[in-house]
Structure 1
Amino acid sequence: MSDITTHHWAASDGVDLVWHETGTGRPLILVHGLFSDAQMNWIKFGHAARLAEAGFRVIMPDLRAHGSSAKPHDPANYPKGVLGSDLSELIAHLGLDDYDLGGFSLGSRTVVQGVGQGLTPRRAILSGMGLEGLMGWEKRHAFFIEAFEKFDATVRGDPHWFAIQFMKSQKVDRVATRLLLESNAGVDEAMLARFTMPTLVLCGADDHDNGSAPALADALSNASYVEIPGTHTTSVTQKSLGEAIATFLTEE
């Protein structure tokens, strides 16, 4: 695949953040999910390579508290809606005014926040996300807080087991990611109403972690729903994820 380059930039609060990039052509920003990073969601399983081959400059930030980006422990670095603000600032830093934008899970929520704050991508991709995961974040938030509390005391069969094992495999900074979770701002109907651009809602057939993806597509004015194999955990490993995004972005 094309070489991956890594770049640093400073957010407005001085936090050192990173983005990874591959390919040339039309800019496409892809945002990873919670406890993950660009490597895990977009690079490892070939999605970035597929999209670079399709003619895109694939730009993949590591969210604050994730990946190669800084993981500050000061609550002041996690104001409400900070991920949406970081995304908007990165796009401004890169000088982009014509681009496509997508995310997986928390990355999709970050895309919604960014569009709610005024971002206007040509096309948008919301993957690994359902309507309830956006409009009813409190329930999902509570689940992850419980996972932190049970981090060293769960056994297989506990509903938090897989989330905790993933956190351990990713060596997450629990202080930083917990502060980040508390920073998540609410999503409202006004934010969803800003999605007038063609939008792909993409989700695993057995992924119900964030509610109904078809219901999310129905709630948007210009969206289509595509189903791929997998659960919330395994759908990002499917070649069909990158294929579906490439097809959506290149269709007439």
Structure 2
Amino acid sequence: MHLNAPAFSSFQHDRLKLAFFDEGDPAGDPILLIHGFASSALVNWVHPGWLKTLGDAGYRVIAIDNRGHGRSDKPHEPSRYHVPLMAADAIALLDHLGIRQAHVMGYSMGARITAFAALAFPHRIRTVILGGLGIGMVTGVGDWDPIADALLAPSLDDVTHERGRMFRAFADQTKSDRLALAACIRTSRDLLSAEQMAKIDMPVLIGVGTRDDIAGSPQELAMLMPHAEALDIPNRDHMLAVGDRVFKKAALEFLHKHS
């Protein structure tokens, strides 16, 4: 158990029990955090210090365990993991907590979920922070079928695909339900068009590590949106950019500017 692990609660949505934490200043501006694939609220936001960073800055910090992840229910049907469904889960959490509008921050798959939520529920979202996903949101992020295969392999020793090995090792380390993750990766890659991105008109910050070989350019994505800015996170890859202090500093400045 992590030393400073927050208390988790749960709520029901779409026939699933979904876990979340609600920490920080109850009177502060709410920010909803949406984690990446094979991660969890704890692994993505608590361990890398985001809960502390945002909590110390006076925010009410809420994070969901996406379906298939963390302490939430883990269906094994790929049809349950299309991104609009997970975006609806996130907004349902705001409903559950009685929050009319929040800042929303997502990393990697969580950034994709955040963008879908911003399109479908624009009145609920004040600002958007996207981490670990740039123009790949529109153009795709390569072939992920080998990752599903890696998750279903008997053991890590059986996996030769490099990115597959990385995610399989991460899934083993986080003791994830690999069948749920394999189902998730098959259908959670829904793309948004350039025209759809252009409709996201709240302030947006996009942070991507300069060594990230998954995300694609944050500048190219920012250019598609009316009020977006891009941030290069120096010398960080996809796994390490999330907790970077350059990213945290930029996020705090961005939120402060739009609070």
Secondary structure of 1:139's aligned partner: coil
CA distance in 2, matches of 1:68, 1:149: 21
Shift of 1:20: 1.2
Are 1:81 and 1:113, in contact at CA under 8 Å, matched by a contact in 2? yes
Cα distance change of structure 1 residues 220 and 43 upon mapping to structure 2, 3 Å threshold: same
2:116 matched to which residue of 1?
113
Among 166, 173, 184, which residue is 2:170 paired with? Answer: 166
| 1:179 paired to 2:216 | no
CA distance in 1, matches of 2:144, 2:63: 24
Q: TM-score, normalised by structure 1?
A: 0.89
Secondary structure of 2:30's aligned partner: strand
* Structure 2 gap segments, 5+ residues each: none
Are 2:50 and 2:248, in contact at CA under 8 Å, matched by a contact in 1? yes
Identity %: 27
Q: What's the RMSD between the two structures over aligned residues? A: 2.3
Cα distance change of structure 1 residues 10 and 187 upon mapping to structure 2, 3 Å threshold: same
The worse-fitting range, judged by mean Cα deviation, of 82-91 and 33-42 is: 82-91
Q: TM-score, normalised by structure 2?
A: 0.87
CA distance in 1, matches of 2:182, 2:168: 13
CA distance in 2, matches of 1:207, 1:138: 11
Secondary structure of 2:166's aligned partner: helix
| 1:45 paired to 2:48 | yes
* Structure 1 gap segments, 5+ residues each: none
Are 1:15 and 1:70, in contact at CA under 8 Å, matched by a contact in 2? yes
1:5 matched to which residue of 2?
7
Are 1:115 and 1:194, in contact at CA under 8 Å, matched by a contact in 2? no
CA distance in 1, matches of 2:37, 2:122: 21
Amino acid at match of 2:60: R
Secondary structure of 1:17's aligned partner: strand
CA distance in 1, matches of 2:100, 2:212: 33
Cα distance change of structure 1 residues 244 and 165 upon mapping to structure 2, 3 Å threshold: same
Cα distance change of structure 1 residues 85 and 47 upon mapping to structure 2, 3 Å threshold: same
Shift of 1:88: 2.0
Amino acid at match of 1:174: R
